[in-house]
Amino acid sequence: MPNSLKAKIRTIPNWPKPGIMFRDITTLIQDNEGFKHLLDLLYERYKSFSIGKVAGIEARGFIIGSALADRLGVGFVPVRKKGKLPAGTIQEEYEKEYGSDIIEIHKDAIKPDERILLIDDLVATGGTALAACKLIKKAGGNIVECGFVVDLPELGGRKKIEDAGFKTFHLVGFEGE
């Protein structure tokens, strides 16, 4: 049950700045039963989606996404911050709370019309995930769904992604907590 996952997610008040309640999934993924349960739930959701590859957003999306890709028997595409990938890349710039940032994938990471599942640990304001969706589309991929462990609905990210035409899924919500 997702509630058992929620119980394993640590909340760190006032990090990285005052007023923020940081939802830390490292306590979930370091727990062997919790991590297995998380992957079981995601595998059950996505096993029949005919996914070509899983794309994971740096850094926690790498952990969950690569393990899920292995279970699904598909490849994994890392979505990285600018300058971290060694071969030719394509990039997407997006706005953050204080300025802008850029994410990249390798030019040859996605085949035309390949069905891509985007995975990350958490959706807050949705800026990075939406930029990753745009980047995957730019590479020729089709987003099957954006899957998250945690949704912070008060911050509106999931709605922003859905309003842009992408499907989302999450296992745990922290609304007003």
The catalytic residue among 33, 44, 97, 175 is 97
Q: What is the dihedral of CA 127, 128, 134, 140, to 10 degrees?
A: -170
**Catalytic residue list contains 97:** yes
Instruction: Identify the residue whose tokens are 């890709």.
Output: 69
Number of residues assigned to the chain: 177
Q: Active site residue: 60, 80, 92, 145, which one? A: 60
**Catalytic residue status for 60:** yes
Q: In the 8-state DSSP scheme, what is residue 7?
A: H
Tokens of 52: 């070509």
Exposure class string for 98-128: b at 16+ Cβ within 10 A, else e: eeeeebbbbeebbeeebbbbbbbbbbbebbb
**Which positions ≥6 away from 98 have C-beta within 8 Å?**
none
Instruction: Catalogue the active-site residues.
Output: 60, 97
